[in-house]
Chains A and B, each alone.
Chain A
Amino acid sequence: EDKVVQSPLSLVVHEGDTVTLNCSYEVTNFRSLLWYKQEKKAPTFLFMLTSSGIEKKSGRLSSILDKKELFSILNITATQTGDSAVYLCAAREKLTFGTGTRLTIIP
């Protein structure tokens, strides 16, 4: 059975801190790993990773995939209160989501 595990489940940090969110996966016919941000609504797409070791960046967010160790990390530097959300990762072929990491940024 395909499985995606995220850690930590919950994280509370102060504004300006840097955070690292983890995602490990065991899926059949792995194709890619996706990160989403979910506030009080539908998930919004952040990154799609298909190759090991190639970092993807978007502003203060970055992510990298390790296909040998079957995990990915999402980094957020200089966190802001607007980063507070649930961060979901999902692995495909068949898109299987983890339960998410709830990130809370304290001003």
Chain B
Amino acid sequence: EAEVAQSPRYKITEKSQAVAFWCDPISGHATLYWYRQILGQGPELLVQFQDESVVDDSQLPKDRFSAERLKGVDSTLKIQPAELGDSAMYLCASSLEVRGEQFFGPGTRLTVL
């Protein structure tokens, strides 16, 4: 069964360091999402791609976060520099179409020390 792949699964870093997360959506899914989920809260959308274009990045802290999906397939989310408050689960999801069912990857749990 097709799945969304994410790596790494866990990342521990010190504040002010740079971190990067990778996501490979289900093949053929044009829409890709990055979410941040803080413990005890629901996921919060950071950025949404349609193919290689950013559709919504209104919640992305652009001073330190960046996201790209250069060939419209896999995607990278970067944080530089990381801050203590960035500790969270970073989830990637994909869907066949913009308003379709979203399939989530296993997530990357980030701990910033």
Asked if residues B42 and A42 are in contact (CB atoms below 8 Å), the reply is no
A25 at the interface (CB under 8 A from B): no
Asked if residues A48 and B104 are in contact (CB atoms below 8 Å), the reply is no
Q: Select the residue from B33, B99, B103, B107 with max chain A CB neighbours within 10 A.
A: B99
Asked if residues A94 and B45 are in contact (CB atoms below 8 Å), the reply is yes
Interface size class of B (residues with CB under 8 A): 10 to 19
Interface of B is mostly: loop
A44 at the interface (CB under 8 A from B): yes
* Interface 1/0 per residue, B92-113 and A, CB below 8 Å: 0000000101111111000000
Interface size class of A (residues with CB under 8 A): 20 to 34
Of all chain B residues, the one with the shortest Cβ separation from A32 is B99
A45–B4 CA distance with the chains assembled, in angstroms: 13
Q: Which residues of B contact A99 (CB under 8 A)?
A: 40-42
Q: Which residues of B contact A43 (CB under 8 A)?
A: 43, 91, 104
Which residues of B are in contact with A by a Cβ distance under 8 Å? 33, 40-45, 56, 91, 99, 101-107
3 tightest A-B CB contacts, nearest first: A97-B42, A42-B104, A97-B43
Which residues of A are in contact with B by a Cβ distance under 8 Å? 4, 31-32, 34, 41-45, 48, 88, 90, 92-100
